[in-house]
Amino acid sequence: METTTTHTVARPGTVARPGTAARPRTAARPRSVTFAGVLQLLFALAFLIAPVAGLAYGADVQAAAEAELARQGLPPSVLADKGLRFDEGGYALVLPVGTAVIAVILARLNLAGRRAGRILTLIVQPVFLALDLFILTSQLSRAEYLQSLLGGGVDAQAVLEASDRAYPAWLLAVTDGRLLLTPLVSLAVLVLLLLPSARAYFRR
């Protein structure tokens, strides 16, 4: 009685065992992609610092700013009259929380090896970078901006200093660090995803 032995021939890039079908070998994720994804998650976390701090300490910050205005002989309602608030809430939460959510989605897509994740990141991350730079320049000029709104009869710098003292010192240090960190993270993510190893990984 003649017996027949079946041999499976593997295609290039596959591993086959005798009697089993060949399965494609999954390409290993390069470190550049892993690092980019982790940085995007850190970016999202950094963008949540401001709204979380605002929710936790916003009432105290607002009260400190109003108390400083009262010390200068002005009614605390001047902030509300100018549409100014020092606490985070409502529409003020939309931008940071929305940015963080988008960054997390892009990070998950990139870490999963989805080509759409890299394409969308190369489109969206420059927008995040522009947003980072806008926030940084706004923070650097906030005293001048507040002074222009409140007028010459108010010491705007004293109001800002009073509001900052309502935050824990460590939180102010973290917030200042975030202002410098997030633009660098955006640049790093773009560079990492443009490296040859990342391009080859998403083309597979």
- Does residue 94 lie in a domain region? yes
Report how many domains make up the chain. Answer: 1
- Does residue 183 lie in a domain region? yes
- Does residue 101 lie in a domain region? yes
CA distances from 76 to 15, 59, 79 (A): 73, 14, 6
- State residue 31's pLDDT score: 95
Closest CA to 144 of 160, 130, 133, 132: 160
- State residue 121's pLDDT score: 97
The token pair at 193 is: 């995803």
pTM over cut 0.75: yes
- Does residue 117 lie in a domain region? yes
Find where tokens 């690092």 sit.
35
- Does residue 4 lie in a domain region? no
pLDDT tens digit string along 170-181? 888 988 899 899
- Does residue 10 lie in a domain region? no
- Does residue 7 lie in a domain region? no
Domain carrying residue 175: 30-203
Grouped pLDDT means (10 residues each) for the chain, 204 residues? 42 47 64 96 92 85 91 87 74 85 97 95 96 90 89 89 91 89 95 96 87
Closest CA to 84 of 154, 173, 131: 154
- Does residue 14 lie in a domain region? no
